[in-house]
Amino acid sequence: MQDRPLSLPHVFRRVERYFGHKTVVSGRVDGETAMTWAEVCARVRRLAAALDELGVPAGARVGTFAWNSHRHTELYLAVPCTGRVLHTINHRLFGEQITYIVNDAEDDVLFVDRSILPAVWPLIDTFTTVRAVVVMDDGGDTEIPDDDRIVDYEDLLWSTKDSGREFTVADEDTAAALCYTSGTTGNPKGVLYSHRSVVLHAGLLLMVDTFGLSERDVVMPIVPMFHVNAWGLPYSAMLCGADLVLPGPAMSPPELADLLARHKVTFGAAVATVWRGLLPLLDQHDLSSVRQIVSGGGAVDEALSRAYRDTIGVPLTNAWGMTETSPVVTTSRIGTAHDHYTHEEKRALLGTPGPAIPLTEVRIVGDDGQEAPWDGRTPGELQASGPTIAAGYFGPDGGTAAFTEDGWLRTGDVATIDGHGYVRIVDRTKDLVKSGGEWISSVELENAIMDHPDVAEAAVIGVADAKWGERPVACVVAHPGTTPTAESVREHLRDRVASWWLPDQVFFLDEIPKTATGKFSKQQLRSLYRTGAHPAEHAK
Amino acid sequence: MQDRPLSLPHVFRRVERYFGHKTVVSGRVDGETAMTWAEVCARVRRLAAALDELGVPAGARVGTFAWNSHRHTELYLAVPCTGRVLHTINHRLFGEQITYIVNDAEDDVLFVDRSILPAVWPLIDTFTTVRAVVVMDDGGDTEIPDDDRIVDYEDLLWSTKDSGREFTVADEDTAAALCYTSGTTGNPKGVLYSHRSVVLHAGLLLMVDTFGLSERDVVMPIVPMFHVNAWGLPYSAMLCGADLVLPGPAMSPPELADLLARHKVTFGAAVATVWRGLLPLLDQHDLSSVRQIVSGGGAVDEALSRAYRDTIGVPLTNAWGMTETSPVVTTSRIGTAHDHYTHEEKRALLGTPGPAIPLTEVRIVGDDGQEAPWDGRTPGELQASGPTIAAGYFGPDGGTAAFTEDGWLRTGDVATIDGHGYVRIVDRTKDLVKSGGEWISSVELENAIMDHPDVAEAAVIGVADAKWGERPVACVVAHPGTTPTAESVREHLRDRVASWWLPDQVFFLDEIPKTATGKFSKQQLRSLYRTGAHPAEHAK
């Protein structure tokens, strides 16, 4: 067979030649932009030439701080198709984390949406490798600093021209994209996606039993393009020629509902928090075009799914994955084995992760290191393997704790698998809180709290939250003779962690319950919280 | 990313773990067999051990002469999953060709359906490398020769047991399967499929815009499993967990119609000849389960497609490929750009090859060696590239004439491609009729003739002409009970094709000679014409 790499230049050629007439809509602060893929591709060719002129070396990381937009899409193609690495960064992270990530990745240039500039520019002098910051006008009114390092995206594009060169990435194992995940402890870790993994993953989402994306779809990734490549949806849309609707900074529920209805979106993807926020607006919009909405970042809230089913006729469907897995590993679906289920049972099933998609394998492993049976009852740590799953982390000190001796990824989730291969997440081995689809490290938050001069001990647990799925709750023991308040703890944290990490509730206890080995017993804390046995008078 | 090969052991593990409850139905001479995939997989494990016991070396070719059946499916898995090469052979070839192919491939053992034994056993002494012939009982009553080289398949399976070993093929470029194509000239040439190409191709058929196969499908490959792996459909069915209905030797129209109806087949694939044969039987069966029927091996006959549409509500859809291309390269579909088409226009579009599927690229190249524009008018030789397309032929003297300098496959078909990438085959390079310096498309002319109410089949060949260089000659089979005349055919064509396309001669035959794969044999027709062996009394 021909030695043809699975690489993004194929995806570029395909969308350019076959789907030039299809559209990419991008929300802006001040309206929206509609472009054809032909226009986007012509801009990609210019951007590729501009990257050359900027002197970005082969293999160098190009950092992006951007909403979902056609410009971000242009970067998704031009950067990897020219052998550079697209490094998407979550601008909502705490400043120190952003600095760490940019420096760890050794980003050569940054592309930043104008409305996001306030989160990035103040850090510019902490970046050790960044030579230039390209500002993309998303309609935001942030003042552009008068600085030699600042370049305007459109100026850059229009000061150059398509060099006419064909894109080639001959080795499919070449790095294409980089995304950092916040681990349980220590610094964020980078996951490097290869051209091979990106292209395979893009194709997997086109399969009927995965997401079944096709040329007839209008795909709206509400999940950010800085979050595991927006679940790979932009690349899948390019491969099949679907229209793409990108909300940009227009992320409020009324704006999202308007986009869904006006552009007749057929497929939407977001974390549960977004779908929950949209619920009150559904009956004001015609959403009859929607055929599937995927709710990721945790199990689907059944009441929410039922509400969608009742309102727009489509329940929420679940999918499971993580930054290390490209991300989609499982997707929920009703198999022929479930034809006898009631409607309610089917809806409930759709709210669970479902079976692994092709090319990807999962297993559950018990505490004894043995694979647990697929009986739907026995739990074990969920482990994943496949060509779209990470083998390690970016950089020399990426660490190997997350991988087994035979090279499987330890996901940190505890799951059961039933006889048909349907995964259900039952617990988490890692000490993490998942809020709005993003991880919060309990350990880091605890350390930050314990930095407070009046705090002796602190433990953080995740508790169910209607809006965010989970929120962190801090359990604090004060130093003798001091009386810290919940507000003083939050105030202390404000310039130490991202604002969305701030615990909504802070409880003061006489002591943190401990395990036999002296570790904080999160299990007992969670149990205390659930039963309301936490001393109410300590709540502030 | 993890270094996980795209190889068939993954497909085996997937069908075994996820889809053990799904079924494989196999037609027999004397009835049919239904098995679950779990049963098939258990037999695959035994067969793998049996291949070890037979001493078949790694990399050796295992030849099969078999109908579509669960046993052939077991070979599809056990042979490549243990690092051997599955070599499927068309038993309808001439004896000399079979001998050539078996010896060229250096087949180590042969697996032969009992009903096919008469085509193979008489050649046994012409085979230079075959050590054993394993006979598979398909209900045929052929006497089994009393010979040491003969082994019974079930005896082989039940004299061993699953060794319990895990299948591993670490290098995805390892050869998995071998299939010979009858070239236009010279000896048949072998095309070697790698594990990578087989797995990629299997996945491609699951994509919505390709065939959209899913766990809910009941797939019936009528196209033989010795013909380019039955278009890869068995492997796709394993990957997605579809039920499989394999007709075995039950290939008569009444048997096929019965299988389609009784097993509620949703997806069928065959050459046009088969669909034509089934047409008179459609109204006697409930075929409401059918969602797609693909007619390959040439453009779809419009009248036939219309008849299917009118009878069972589903038109024929086309796909294009060849042995060298795994085989699917293009599949027909109605894109959003065709939404304004009339029903008739849509049906006609579905009868053409359509656009290339993901991972695969096509181009058309003119006589000047330059790529022709995608304008829907300019013809050029169709060339194909991608990881599922051959780079050469099996063996040292495979020849390179079919490949360009930059490694693309020269398909030998002449095509146009329109602005949306839709391919239309104009003709085979060697079949083109060039009259007065202008090309005449035999295919279009044949379709126009077959629209004649009294015409069942028509084939057009070019014959030398003193004045025009070449002129088209029509070879026509009348519908039973009708007696169309040459003049009535010409009259019918007068407002359908250009006047210079009108065939000067129209011959009426009892049947059009066909190749082993059911296509019109232009070669035999030309030979018939040259030797004057066409029944003169039929000429009108």
Is A101:A188 a contact under the CB 8 Å cutoff? Answer: yes
> In this model, does residue B182 exceed pLDDT 80?
no
CB contacts of A239 in chain B (<8 Å) are: 358
pLDDT at A535 (0 to 100): 46
pLDDT band at A438 (very low <50, low <70, confident <90, very high): confident
Least confident of A180-189, A359-368, B18-27: A180-189
Distance from CA of A326 to the nearest CA of B (A): 9
> In this model, does residue A430 exceed pLDDT 80?
no
Q: Is A14 on the interface with B (CB under 8 A)?
A: yes
Q: Cβ neighbours of residue B293 under 8 Å, at least 6 residues apart?
A: B267, B268, B269, B270, B275, B308, B314, B316, B317
Q: How far is Cα B512 from Cα B66, in angstroms, rounded to an integer?
A: 26
Domain match, B163 and B15 both: yes
Category of B457 on φ-ψ map: left (φ > 0), alpha (ψ -120 to 50) or beta: beta
Express each pLDDT in A77-126 by its tens digit: 999 999 999 999 999 988 988 999 999 999 999 999 999 999 999 999 99
Looking at per-residue pLDDT, the higher value among B122 and B165 belongs to B122
DSSP string, B194-210: EHHHHHHHHHHTTBTTT
What's the mean pLDDT in B438-463? 86
pLDDT band at B439 (very low <50, low <70, confident <90, very high): low
pLDDT band at A536 (very low <50, low <70, confident <90, very high): very low
Domain boundary among A376, A410, A428: A428
Q: Is A343 on the interface with B (CB under 8 A)?
A: no
Domain match, B502 and B375 both: no
Q: Is A392 on the interface with B (CB under 8 A)?
A: no
CA B246 vs. chain centroid, Å, equals 15
The domain that holds B517 is classified in CATH as 3.30.300.30
> Is A434 a catalytic site residue?
yes
What's the mean pLDDT in B268-296? 93
Domain match, A494 and A403 both: no
> Is B320 a catalytic site residue?
no
> Which of B206, B208, B241 minimises the CB distance to A213?
B208
- A419-458 residues touching B, CB cutoff 8 A: 420-421
Is A117 part of a structural domain of the chain?
Answer: yes
Express each pLDDT in B106-147 by its tens digit: 999 999 999 999 999 999 999 999 999 999 999 999 999 999
Domain match, A188 and A54 both: yes
Is A237 part of a structural domain of the chain?
Answer: no
Q: Do B13 and A361 touch (CB under 8 A)?
A: yes
Q: Given strand B455-465, what is the order of strands in its sheet?
A: B455-465, B469-478, B505-508
Nearest to B428 by CA among B473, B462, B466, B401: B462
The domain that holds A152 is classified in CATH as 3.40.50.12780
Is B274 part of a structural domain of the chain?
Answer: no
Distance from CA of A189 to the nearest CA of B (A): 14
Distance from CA of A228 to the nearest CA of B (A): 14
pLDDT band at B397 (very low <50, low <70, confident <90, very high): low
Q: Do A358 and B386 touch (CB under 8 A)?
A: no
Domain match, B415 and B483 both: no
Least confident of A75-89, A160-174, B243-257: A160-174
> Is A439 a catalytic site residue?
yes
Domain match, A166 and A47 both: yes
- A124-143 residues touching B, CB cutoff 8 A: none
What's the mean pLDDT in B44-72? 97
Tell me the whole-structure pTM to 2 decimals: 0.88
- The DSSP bridge pattern shows strands A409-417 and A380-385 to be antiparallel
Cα torsion angle, A116, A117, A119, A124, sign? positive
Most confident listed range (A297-301, B27-31, B462-466)? B27-31
> In this model, does residue A145 exceed pLDDT 50?
yes
Looking at per-residue pLDDT, the higher value among B335 and B501 belongs to B335
Mean pLDDT of all residues belonging to chain B: 91
Q: What is the CA radius of gyration of chain A?
A: 23
Nearest to B139 by CA among B248, B6, B288, B274: B248
CB contacts of B18 in chain A (<8 Å) are: 355, 420-421
Is A240 part of a structural domain of the chain?
Answer: no
Domain match, B363 and B480 both: no
- How much is the ipTM here? 0.89
Of all residues in chain B, what percent carry a pLDDT higher than 90?
A: 76
Is A248:A225 a contact under the CB 8 Å cutoff? Answer: no
Is A110 part of a structural domain of the chain?
Answer: yes
Domain boundary among B428, B450, B470: B428
Q: Given strand A292-296, what is the order of strands in its sheet?
A: A31-36, A23-28, A243-246, A218-221, A267-271, A292-296, A316-321, A328-331
Cα torsion angle, B269, B273, B276, B281, sign? negative
Is B40:B32 a contact under the CB 8 Å cutoff? Answer: no
Is B463 part of a structural domain of the chain?
Answer: yes
Residue B423: C-alpha distances to residues A240, B96, B322, B358, B417 (Å)? 17, 36, 15, 15, 4
Assign 3-state DSSP to chain A and report helix, strand, coil percentages, each to 5: 30, 25, 40
Domain boundary among B397, B428, B459: B428
Domain match, A99 and A43 both: yes
Q: Is A70 on the interface with B (CB under 8 A)?
A: no
Nearest to B270 by CA among B225, B239, B310, B312: B225
The domain that holds A402 is classified in CATH as 2.30.38.10
Q: How far is Cα B111 from Cα B109, in angstroms, rounded to an integer?
A: 7
Domain match, A392 and A452 both: no
pLDDT at B540 (0 to 100): 39
Q: Do A4 and B386 touch (CB under 8 A)?
A: yes
Q: How far is Cα A96 from Cα A106, in angstroms, rounded to an integer?
A: 15
pLDDT at A539 (0 to 100): 42
Is A457 part of a structural domain of the chain?
Answer: yes
Catalytic residue selected from A121, A320, A408, A439: A439
CB contacts of B218 in chain A (<8 Å) are: none
Q: Is A512 on the interface with B (CB under 8 A)?
A: no
> Is B88 a catalytic site residue?
no
Number of domains in chain A: 3
Domain match, A395 and A530 both: no
Q: Is A376 on the interface with B (CB under 8 A)?
A: no
Question: What's the residue count for chain A?
Answer: 540
pLDDT at B431 (0 to 100): 61
> Which of B1, B213, B420 minimises the CB distance to A388?
B1
Q: Is B219 on the interface with A (CB under 8 A)?
A: no
Domain match, A173 and A72 both: yes
Domain match, A459 and A506 both: yes
List the domain range (segments joined by +) for residue A148. 8-23+36-194
Q: How far is Cα A414 from Cα B397, in angstroms, rounded to an integer?
A: 56
Q: Is A42 on the interface with B (CB under 8 A)?
A: no
Tokens describing residue B471 = 């002129």
Is A242 part of a structural domain of the chain?
Answer: no
pLDDT at A525 (0 to 100): 85
CB contacts of A6 in chain B (<8 Å) are: 359, 387
Catalytic residue selected from B264, B439, B515, B519: B439
